[in-house]
Structures are given as structure tokens and as C-alpha cells.
Structure 1
């Protein structure tokens, strides 16, 4: 069974390519995730911002894809993923911006 994953591409206001992921990234959909990163990077030499703020699960298959492109990525991650990105060493290879958790009123 494939884990739910939605991938959306776009651009940030500064023109940087943006890939937004929503759902779970695991071995069942890692090829789809890798293809989306490859497409978003295209043949350009620029950076890609990968917004993982709506990702609830990231396993080693997803991490390996991020590692393969680490020198060209900037990650936006929720606090839930921060330990995985730090312990894996990925945060030492690329910029990781952790977004604060939503506040409830």
C-alpha cells in the first residue's frame, strides 16, 4: 500500500524553486518523491527549497533522497522531523529551517 503523499511545485517570491510535500514519505512513494525533486531541480544550478512542514513521517528511503541532493537543498521542517534530520546528519549538510508548531487558542 502506498503511503499518502502530495507533491506540489512552485516558486518562492525570490524565484527559488519550491517543492511542497504533504503526507508521508517512505519506501512506498520514495520514487515519486525523488522524481519530483529531480524535476524541480531540472538542469539548473540553483537551489531547491523542499517544504516538509506538512510531512508527518519520513523514513530512511526519503532521507536517502534528501542526502543525494543535500548540496542543492534547503529544507523547511516541522519540529516532529527535526530529530530525524539532526541525528541522520542531514542538518550538517544542508540548511534546515524548523517552523514553530501551530498554536491553539
Structure 2
């Protein structure tokens, strides 16, 4: 069963590419999330990923972000709910994380 996920590409506050994510990111939709990131990163090396609408992020979603953080400038905007996951996983060390 696929977990509901909404992905909206657009522009961030800085005018650069942004991807707004709403729902839950898990192994059932991590590939879709990764494909959306890849589409945006094909035209830019940096992207803002707004995760403030994400209620759950499992290791598959964290892996998607890690895979792209190695070669791209990821700026993550996360809700306080996800702050611990991003820090404990080490993702906050390879991507810029802003908690809102």
C-alpha cells in the first residue's frame, strides 16, 4: 500500500528551486520522492526541500536525501517533529537544516 505524498515544485524564498513535500515519506513512496528531487536537481545544483508538511520520515526517505546531499546543496526546512531524525541520522551534517 502506497502512503499518501504530495510533491509540489516551485521557487523558494530565495528565488531558487524548491520542492514542497506534504504527507509521509517511507519505503512505499521514497522512489517517487527521489525522482521529484532528481527532476529539480537536473537544472540546478541547489534546492530547498520544504518538509514542514511531512508528518513521518523513515530511513528510506533519509537515504534519498543522503544520496543527493553528497553531490548537491540541499537546504532542508523541517518541522520540529523531524529535527531529531535529521540530526541523529547525520543528515544535518551534510545538508543545511532549518527547523520551523
Range into which the TM-score falls when normalised by the shorter chain: over 0.9
Q: Which runs of 5+ in 1 are unaligned?
A: 100-105
Distance in structure 2 (CA, Å) of the matches to 1:13 and 1:63: 24
Taking only aligned residues, the RMSD between alpha carbons, in angstroms, comes to 1.0
CA displacement 1:42-68 (0-9 Å, x = unmatched): 1433x1000000100000000001001
Q: How many residues align?
A: 98
> Runs of at least 4 residues of structure 1 off by over 6 A?
none
Alignment partner of 1:82: what SS?
A: helix
1:85 alignment counterpart: 86
TM-score by length of 1: 0.89
Alignment partner of 2:81: what SS?
A: coil
Structure label with greater radius of gyration = 1
1:11 alignment counterpart: 11
Q: Which runs of 5+ in 2 are unaligned?
A: none
Distance in structure 2 (CA, Å) of the matches to 1:84 and 1:34: 18
